[in-house]
Amino acid sequence: MANIVPYLGTALSNLFRKPSTESFPAGEPPKAQPNYRGRISYDASKCVNCGMCMRVCAPQCMTRTQKPLEGGEPGDLEITFTFDMTSCTFCGLCSDFCARKAITLTDDYMMTGTTAEDFLVTGSFVKKAPPVKPKFTPEQLAAMKAAAEAKKAGGAAAAGQAAGTAAPQTAGAAQASADTAGTANAAAAETTAAGATAPAAAGTVSGKAPNAPKFTPEQIEAMRAATLAKRAAAAKAKAEAEAAAGAGENAETETK
Ligand code: SF4
Ligand code: SF4
């Protein structure tokens, strides 16, 4: 009992003094010091989804999710950024690197809660799908179509003109070959057949574009037949000349 007597006076005097502490959280909390870095504030309306804040955050305390926008156009997305204050070190780099100033560190230091969600800061914005821009306007398409049709018509006319020139030439070549063949009836017959084929082939060419092959298979076959006929006629003429020369020598010998 004697030991507590010195403290009894102090205890009694403290009963009538004001408390030396402040009530918390009751009442107005004191302001944070200037430049204090507290709870993050995220303004999704300023965010452009560049992702720079996620790159510079060392503890990787932010996540970005996206899902199709309900009731939106195909391709529209709802993007959500979530900052986890339980991982944040309040370094402020995300705020410093955000060019749009969408992130700020407030002076809110009273981060208490009872669930994990109490320590999350989230914000969402809509990213619209880029409009599908047609490569050409309707006017450009119409102009291109008209140009293609004009080119097609011009090409057909040129092809027809070229065919009209080529057909007589081909037929004439076949006929000249037949003339050279002379008395070779079989060859002449072949040549005539070739000559008959040539105009038909020329008729085929008339319907083709200017960049079509120079000769059709029928024309090639006609030219080949004419060449064979020419060779056969030359061989026959040579044989007849040699036979005539041999007969002349025999008559001369008998006369002697
Ligand atoms: S908050 Fe800022 S840095 Fe992060 S994605 Fe948005 S605009 Fe980019
Ligand atoms: S303040 Fe630092 S740790 Fe916190 S979210 Fe921003 S970059 Fe990450």
Give the position of tokens 């790159």: 55
Phi, psi of 96, deg, nearest 5:
-65, -35
Residue 14 structure tokens: 């403290």
Q: Verify cis geometry, omega within 30 degrees of 0, for the bond prior to 25.
A: yes
Hey, where are the domains in the chain? 27-127, 173-235
- What is the CATH code of the structural domain delimited by 27-127? 3.30.70.3270
d(CA 14, CA 82): 50
d(CA 33, CA 37): 9
C-alpha distance from residue 213 to each of 46, 196, 210, 225 (Å) = 65, 21, 9, 20
Mutational pocket test of ligand 1: of 100, 105, 127, the residue with most ligand atoms within 8 Å of the beta carbon: 100
54 alpha carbon – ligand 1 mean position (Å): 8
59 alpha carbon – ligand 2 mean position (Å): 7
C-alpha distance from residue 254 to each of 99, 243, 249, 250 (Å) = 124, 17, 9, 6
Closest CA to 123 of 160, 155, 93, 81: 81
Global confidence as pTM: 0.50
Q: Are the C-beta atoms of 98 and 53 separated by less than 8 Å? A: yes
Residue 234 Cβ contacting ligand 2 at under 6 Å:
no
Residue 54 structure tokens: 């996620």
Q: What is the pLDDT along the chain (256 residues), one digit of tens a residue?
A: 667 777 888 899 889 998 888 777 677 778 899 999 999 999 999 999 999 999 999 999 999 999 999 998 889 999 999 999 999 999 999 999 999 999 999 999 988 899 999 999 999 999 999 888 778 888 889 999 999 999 988 877 777 676 655 544 544 444 544 444 444 444 444 444 444 444 444 444 444 455 667 888 888 888 988 899 999 898 888 888 888 877 656 555 544 4
d(CA 246, CA 236): 15
Give the helix/strand (H/E) hosting 78.
strand 77-84
Residue identifier of the C-alpha nearest atom 6 of ligand 1: 47
Give the helix/strand (H/E) hosting 103.
strand 103-105
Number of H helices, E strands in the chain: 6, 5
Ligand nearest to the CA of 48: 1
Give the position of tokens 């999704």: 44
Residue 181 Cβ contacting ligand 1 at under 6 Å:
no
Residue 246 structure tokens: 């041999």
Cβ atoms within 10 Å of 220's Cβ, excluding its own? 13
Residue 51 Cβ contacting ligand 1 at under 6 Å:
yes
